[in-house]
Amino acid sequence: MKPSFTRFKYYWGERVISKHIKKESNRTMRSCNIEDARSVGMLCEIKKKEDYHALVEIIDFLNKEYSIKNLKILAFYPFKDEPFFLKSRLGLDFFSLNELNYYGFPNNSIVRNFMNESFDILIDLTQRRIVPLRLVLLFSKSSFKVGSFSDEKKPFYDLMIETDPSDYKEYVTQVTSYLKIFDKND
- Tell me if 74 sits within 8 A of 42, measured CB to CB: yes
- In this prediction, residue 165 carries a pLDDT of 78
Task: Supply the mean pLDDT for the chain.
Answer: 87
Query: Distance between CA 94 and CA 82 in Å, rounded?
Result: 11
Q: Would you place residue 82 in the very low, low, confident or very high pLDDT band (cuts 50, 70, 90)?
A: confident
Q: Per residue in 112-170, pLDDT tens?
A: 999 999 999 999 999 888 999 999 999 999 999 999 988 887 889 999 998 877 888 89
Check pLDDT > 50 for residue 73: yes
Domains observed in the chain: 3-179 (3.40.50)
